[in-house]
Amino acid sequence: MNHAAADSLFLRACRREAVAQTPGWLMRQAGRYLPEYRSIREKLTFLELCTRSEVAAEVTAGTVRRLGVDAAIVFADILLPLVPMALGLTYEKGDGPRIAAPLRTGADVAKLPSFDADGELGYVGETIRLTRGDVGTATPIIGFAGAPFTVASYAIEGGSSRNYVHVKTMMYRDPATWDALMHYVVDMTVAYLNMQIAAGADAVQLFDSWVGCLSIGDYARYVQPHLARLVARITPGTPVILFGTATESLLQAERDTGASVIGFDWRVDLAATWERIGHDVAIQGNLDPVVLFAGRDHVVEETRKVLAAAAGRPGHIFNLGHGILPETPVDNVLALVDAVHAYEHR
């Protein structure tokens, strides 16, 4: 256990302890909106950047210094496990990830290789160790993985999707294959996240970015039990943040997975929704990332509204409701971080 980080605002908020100031970090805080990141990406492909731990750690730590945020998030991607899963992952310039050999049948799932997350994704652990050496013991480091539904959605659809037709077809027509895939992804994700924790991650976030496409009934049947098994196997004492978008109807079920912190996207009313799911769970969110394209005064005003809605209750971590977009003005991001730190609850 890293004791200096344990007293950080971020980890205290994860544990719902009272804090003098609300901690904040931003999903996708390192990325193409930062000129420093773009210049590194001119020399390396995205996968090269992720696998070269010394560069990935510099991006992780450099971003914390540049923004003054309260936590580092290891520079990696939710789709990296698709490489040892041998699905033919590539990142195409401009239009995101592509999977050459998507999973569609029981035979495809049965053929998935078993792999050792320590070995084949060990470079992510190395990035965490190098980041710790750089940021010191007081800055918490967040490890992460895609949540099983969202990872499976890329593996089955072969990339981004609008309606998740192939995913839902598998769920409805071949639930045994869906369940087998969920078991595989849960085992892999537990090993991957516990490896990140052993390397020094103080908390882990599960990105279930696209799970909001499901009805509550389908979530309860096809996703929630797998997530609950996953959360129960994370190294004890490590906060688990569960994030998704368009999840308003799923938040209570997300909470019932045992996750320590529930992510809110910007669509929900923070105060009313926290009240509804219970103040006995920590929450993270929830400024609309597109507000960062407004004028600076509007950014500050909307940031303060989010903080006011949380009303200084223990257990709020400030964040966006989804990741920072590539064209976001950097000055507005800096103004947002200043506004979070300057805020005083009365």
Instruction: Please tell me whether residue 209 binds ligand 1CP under the rule CB under 6 A.
Output: yes
Taking the complex as a whole, the smallest distance from the CB of residue 346 to ligand 1CP amounts, in Å, to 32
- 330-342 and 53-67 helices cross at what angle (nearest 10)? 60
Taking the complex as a whole, the smallest distance from the CB of residue 101 to ligand 1CP amounts, in Å, to 18
Taking the complex as a whole, the smallest distance from the CB of residue 322 to ligand 1CP amounts, in Å, to 6
Taking CB under 6 A as the rule, which mask of x and - marks residues 87-106 in contact with ligand 1CP?
A: ----x----xx---------
- Number of Cβ atoms within 10 Å of the Cβ of 253: 17
Neighbouring-strand partners of residue 141? 72
Instruction: Please tell me whether residue 259 binds ligand 1CP under the rule CB under 6 A.
Output: no
Which residues have C-beta within 8 Å of that of residue 57, sequence separation ≥ 6?
75, 127, 128, 130, 131, 133, 134
d(CA 26, CA 325): 11
# residues contacting ligand 1CP (CB under 6 A): 23
Taking the complex as a whole, the smallest distance from the CB of residue 30 to ligand 1CP amounts, in Å, to 4
Q: Is residue 269 a contact partner of residue 251, using CB atoms and an 8 Å limit?
A: no
Q: For residues 231 and 265, which CB has a smaller minimum distance to ligand 1CP in the complex?
A: 265
Taking the complex as a whole, the smallest distance from the CB of residue 189 to ligand 1CP amounts, in Å, to 14
Instruction: Please tell me whether residue 208 binds ligand 1CP under the rule CB under 6 A.
Output: no
Q: For residues 22 and 205, which CB has a smaller minimum distance to ligand 1CP in the complex?
A: 205
Q: For residues 226 and 322, which CB has a smaller minimum distance to ligand 1CP in the complex?
A: 322
Instruction: Please tell me whether residue 144 binds ligand 1CP under the rule CB under 6 A.
Output: yes
Buried b (16+ CB within 10 A) or exposed e, 162-182: eebebbbebbeebeebbeebb
Q: For residues 80 and 307, which CB has a smaller minimum distance to ligand 1CP in the complex?
A: 80
d(CA 188, CA 85): 10
Q: What does 232-283 look like in DSSP terms, one character per residue?
A: HTS-TT--EEEEESS-GGGHHHHHTTT-SEEE--TTS-HHHHHHHH-TTSEE
Instruction: Please tell me whether residue 73 binds ligand 1CP under the rule CB under 6 A.
Output: yes
- Cα–Cα nearest to 25, from 66, 72, 61: 72
Taking the complex as a whole, the smallest distance from the CB of residue 338 to ligand 1CP amounts, in Å, to 19
Taking CB under 6 A as the rule, which mask of x and - marks residues 154-183 in contact with ligand 1CP?
A: ------x-----------------------
Phi, psi at 192, each rounded to 5° = -65, -45
What DSSP designation does 201 have?
-
Q: Which 27-56 positions form the footprint of ligand 1CP (CB under 6 A)?
A: 27-32, 41, 46
Please report where in the chains the tokens 């994030």 appear, as a residue.
243
Phi, psi at 292, each rounded to 5° = -65, -10
Q: For residues 79 and 287, which CB has a smaller minimum distance to ligand 1CP in the complex?
A: 79
- Number of Cβ atoms within 10 Å of the Cβ of 88: 13
Active site residues: 28, 32, 41, 77, 154
Q: For residues 16 and 209, which CB has a smaller minimum distance to ligand 1CP in the complex?
A: 209
Instruction: Please tell me whether residue 79 binds ligand 1CP under the rule CB under 6 A.
Output: yes
Instruction: Please tell me whether residue 24 binds ligand 1CP under the rule CB under 6 A.
Output: no
Binding interface with ligand 1CP (CB under 6 A): 27-32, 41, 46, 73, 75-79, 91, 96-97, 144, 160, 207, 209, 322-323
